[in-house]
A and B are shown apart, each in its own frame.
Chain A
Amino acid sequence: MFKFSSASFCLRGTKTLLVFALFSASTAALAFDNFKGVGRPATPAEVKAWDIDVRPDFKGLPKGSGSVEQGQELFEAKCASCHGTFGESNEVFTPLVGGTTKDDMKTGRVKGLSSGELPQRTTFTKVATISTVFDYIQRAMPWTAPKSLKPDEVYAILAYMLNLSEMVPADFVLSDKNIAEVQKLLPNRNGMTTEHGMWPGAPAKKGGIGNGGVPDTANKACMKNCKQEVQIGSTLPEYARTAHGELAEQNRSFGPVRGTRTLGPEAAKKAADAGTLELATKSGCMACHGIKSKIVGPGYNEVVARYAGQTDAEARLIGKVKAGGQGVWGSVPMPPNAHLKDEDVKTLVQWILSGAK
């Protein structure tokens, strides 16, 4: 059916007939199948392929199992580069594990969340439903190859994370049979509330969620002499003023206002230099060149000295960076850098010639 539909341009007529035949047999409700010729039944295989969600009541959970040990191996291979070997890393994403205690497991409330002792929330300090973690690993992980994990692998990785969180022993095997037991150990399983006014559906008293839209603040539209004094709670710290670049360049150069000049020419040059150094590092230049010292190739200070006063220095260096070269600085060749964008090469060469910093 799926393949059939992809070829819908040439098979349009046939398909319409088929769909019509299928649907006309059913006793339709008023609006059911109201749009003749539009849509077709999903095949069981299609539904199975896409319907991978796992709910808190474990509806949708695939059969399978995986051990902590298998999980550790998989985690180190597929997850650790972002999350750290122990799921503790804060380098790329916020940490997965940590911040929970044995006591939390008993109460189902992570104490650190209210006591303020937690430096940072981790996945396991927040999540109240173990299905969420299974579902997410299965649908979206690993980062660069989502949906590549088989159910057993998802179980194993989750088992390893549970072990890291000290919820299960090192010889534990997680499966569709015992995951409901694990749910009962989740440290923050009682940590959610839906008692608020921000659910747009039916309220809890009518079988839905929340309080039916009652807000938690009640400001008044006072117009005159609304208070005695203006209390400033916080002002923009100086570092934050400049952390977002040159604000003058983030506004029009005409109109009722101008962007405030936040960096000034010197700071702007410094920021540009820092950006170019990063570009140089990313482009691999700094592996062979030092700013003030020879590594494999010459230091940039030496390059500047050699080309000083030559009007065509920029063009010649751009050519050398792109095509590579040998002999000027000795026998070790400079490899060609055809992969670099022209504008990046130009930026790098100008940076070098202006006395790279």
Chain B
Amino acid sequence: MVDIVKQPGRLRPAPENFLSDEQVKAVGSGRRDFLRRSFIAAGAALAAPLAARASEGDPNILQNPAWTTSLGQPVATRPYGLPSQYESQLLRRESPGLARVGGASVSFAPLQGLFGIITPSGLHFERHHQGWHDIDPSKHRLMVNGSDDSLLKKAKVYTLDELMRLPSASRIHFIECGANTGLEWGNVAVPTVQYTHGMLSCSEFTGVPLKYLLDDCGVDYKKARYVLAEGADGSSMTRTIPMEMVESGEVMVAYGQNGEMLRPENGYPLRLVVPGVQGVSWVKWLRRIEVGDQPYATKDEAVHYIDLLPNGLHRQYSSIQEAKSVITTPSGGQTLLDHGFYNVSGLAWSGRGKIKQVDVSFDGGINWQTARLEGPIQNKALTRFNINWVWDGKPAILQSRAMDETGYVQPTYGQLRKVRGTKSIYHNNAIQSWKIIESGEVSNVQVL
């Protein structure tokens, strides 16, 4: 509660010292109007100088602060810029108990504090299968070969020098781990949007369409209908990609991310970009592309990243991230400051194309209103949505529901579990619900 009224810009100092236990309880029970009255009382009771100041106006305005009355720091003080010292709380974080080895773990992006659609590269989620390396780009090579020599005219090797000479494309795409929201299949398990949805990021990627390289090697597209992508890390992670996606021109061999080179944690100096497909297929530290005439059943498509169904079968080669959305502000683990106006904001995305519409409910899905989509709306990219809301202080359940350009509508938990049960781990795109209670505290609930 104390934090709620500590916002900068308010005229009055923090009220905690001016409120009795009883008054604090009254605030806790949701009686915010009471808060306002108590401020006036508290102001009157203050010692003279502070009271005088408060009656004249905000000391932050009446007295120029140090940054207005002194010399600031010169250019290039920090040659590689850093966020403000006041931004230290939004970090990528691990979920305790999720993995026991840091080299095969996940860190989640702090979606609860991000704006727009681009994830700052330093906050991009991480998922490594055998730890990350910072690879010397002058020693990195990309090989293109065939499972059979007859599938291409020539196996080739490319250096970064060479790849960066080729015609490039820059595109904004989301990347989502197939296991995002996987902790929530059976029941609510984690408190905030960072842990429910934070294996999600979106960047502008720059690179070479893989099709150019396959053309350059003379691939026989009639026979070679699958592509194996392999990383240069210890795990040499491999995944099968359909040739149709490569032929569409969407699959890229990327070196750039948000205007600079990829970050080491995201595959420096080269990674595959497979728009709309789960992150595991976006092979990092990409060192080899093999074209083949059948899928490969690699470890991460035959032991992991397979979706268990109630009948005991596993879905194999499930890859597309279907339409999904989540409200990021306000979201679980946050507390609203007060009654009144809020811009409710969130993210929507679909592995099948563009987002067409996002609807938001404030009553747990009985009634819905269509949110504003912030454009331009891009193919297989995060789309930011916003909607106005006046909170009357009563309990509410907030939900968002995405529809993509194919007409597919994001499912409810009830609908999803009816088909897939609760043990699938992967591809949970159910509608997320945030419950708000009178105190303003937001928590994670599941509405069926």
To the question of whether A and B form a pair in one complex, the answer is yes
Q: Give chain A's interface residues, CB within 8 Å of chain B.
A: 1-2, 5-6, 8, 23, 26, 28-29, 31-35, 38-42, 46-47, 50-53, 55-57, 59-60, 91-93, 109-111, 113-115, 121, 123, 126-129, 131-133, 135-136, 139-140, 143, 146-147, 191-202, 207-210, 213, 215-227, 230-237, 240-241, 243-245, 247-262
A209 contact set on B, CB distance < 8 A = 242, 295, 317
- Whether A233 contacts B242 in the complex (CB less than 8 A), given A41-B156, A249-B89, comes out as no
In angstroms, how far is the closest chain A Cβ from the Cβ of B223? 11
- B217 interface hit (Cβ, 8 Å): yes
Shortest 3 CB-CB distances between A and B: which pairs? A201-B242, A114-B312, A230-B364
The B402-447 residues at the A interface (CB cut-off 8 A) are 403, 408-416, 419-420, 427, 435, 441-447
Find B352's partner among A31, A126, A136, A213 (CB 8 Å cutoff): A213
| A110/B165 in contact, CB under 8 A | no
- B59 interface hit (Cβ, 8 Å): no
- B384 interface hit (Cβ, 8 Å): no
Complex alpha-carbon distance, A237 and B443, angstroms: 10
| A41/B130 in contact, CB under 8 A | no
Nearest A residue to B368 via CB reads A223
Q: Give chain B's interface residues, CB within 8 Å of chain A.
A: 3-4, 6-8, 86-87, 89-91, 93, 95-97, 100-101, 103-104, 110, 112-113, 129-130, 138-139, 141, 143-145, 147-148, 153-159, 161-163, 165-166, 187-192, 194-195, 212-213, 215-218, 225-226, 228, 230, 234-236, 238, 242-245, 276-277, 287-288, 290, 292, 294-299, 302-303, 306-320, 322, 329-330, 332-337, 342-343, 351-352, 357, 359, 363-370, 397, 401, 403, 408-416, 419-420, 427, 435, 441-448
Complex alpha-carbon distance, A2 and B6, angstroms: 63
| A252/B89 in contact, CB under 8 A | yes
B190 contact set on A, CB distance < 8 A = 240, 244
Find A207's partner among B165, B225, B292, B318 (CB 8 Å cutoff): B225
| A114/B302 in contact, CB under 8 A | no
A28 contact set on B, CB distance < 8 A = 153, 218
| B191/A247 in contact, CB under 8 A | yes
| B244/A202 in contact, CB under 8 A | yes
| B242/A235 in contact, CB under 8 A | no
- Whether A224 contacts B311 in the complex (CB less than 8 A), given A41-B154, A207-B225, comes out as no
- Whether A132 contacts B299 in the complex (CB less than 8 A), given A192-B316, A193-B313, A258-B334, comes out as yes
- Whether A140 contacts B234 in the complex (CB less than 8 A), given A40-B157, A199-B242, A227-B366, comes out as yes
| B294/A233 in contact, CB under 8 A | no
Find B322's partner among A123, A198, A258, A261 (CB 8 Å cutoff): A198
In angstroms, how far is the closest chain A Cβ from the Cβ of B104? 8
| A139/B218 in contact, CB under 8 A | no
Complex alpha-carbon distance, A117 and B191, angstroms: 30
Further pairs besides A213-B320, A258-B6: 5, Cβ < 8 Å? A33-B216, A41-B155, A217-B419, A219-B409, A219-B412
Complex alpha-carbon distance, A259 and B329, angstroms: 11
DSSP majority for the A interface?
A: loop
B294 contact set on A, CB distance < 8 A = 55-57
B97 contact set on A, CB distance < 8 A = 243
B363 contact set on A, CB distance < 8 A = 230
- Whether A38 contacts B158 in the complex (CB less than 8 A), given A209-B317, A247-B333, comes out as yes
Could you show 5 A-B contacts with beta carbons less than 8 Å apart? A29-B218, A139-B235, A235-B444, A247-B191, A260-B441
Complex alpha-carbon distance, A214 and B176, angstroms: 20
- Whether A230 contacts B234 in the complex (CB less than 8 A), given A53-B228, A236-B188, comes out as no
| A251/B112 in contact, CB under 8 A | yes
| A39/B333 in contact, CB under 8 A | no
- Whether A227 contacts B365 in the complex (CB less than 8 A), given A32-B215, A198-B322, A201-B243, comes out as yes
| B236/A47 in contact, CB under 8 A | no
| A110/B359 in contact, CB under 8 A | no
Nearest B residue to A252 via CB reads B113
- Whether A53 contacts B145 in the complex (CB less than 8 A), given A32-B217, A261-B3, comes out as no
Complex alpha-carbon distance, A261 and B245, angstroms: 46
| A55/B147 in contact, CB under 8 A | yes
Complex alpha-carbon distance, A298 and B223, angstroms: 74
Find A136's partner among B299, B318, B410 (CB 8 Å cutoff): B299
| B308/A194 in contact, CB under 8 A | no
- Whether A215 contacts B408 in the complex (CB less than 8 A), given A114-B312, A240-B191, A250-B89, comes out as yes
| B319/A200 in contact, CB under 8 A | yes
In angstroms, how far is the closest chain B Cβ from the Cβ of A245? 8
Find A140's partner among B145, B191, B192, B299 (CB 8 Å cutoff): B299
| A46/B157 in contact, CB under 8 A | yes
Find B329's partner among A129, A218, A249, A256 (CB 8 Å cutoff): A256
Find B330's partner among A224, A245, A256 (CB 8 Å cutoff): A256
In angstroms, how far is the closest chain B Cβ from the Cβ of A3? 12
| A260/B334 in contact, CB under 8 A | yes
B95 contact set on A, CB distance < 8 A = 244
| A226/B367 in contact, CB under 8 A | yes
- Whether A199 contacts B334 in the complex (CB less than 8 A), given A32-B217, A39-B158, A143-B130, comes out as no
| A131/B297 in contact, CB under 8 A | yes
Find A236's partner among B144, B161, B191, B287 (CB 8 Å cutoff): B191
- Whether A235 contacts B215 in the complex (CB less than 8 A), given A132-B302, A262-B333, comes out as no
| A226/B368 in contact, CB under 8 A | yes
| A233/B303 in contact, CB under 8 A | no
Complex alpha-carbon distance, A68 and B446, angstroms: 49
In angstroms, how far is the closest chain B Cβ from the Cβ of A183? 11
| A38/B166 in contact, CB under 8 A | yes
Nearest B residue to A82 via CB reads B101
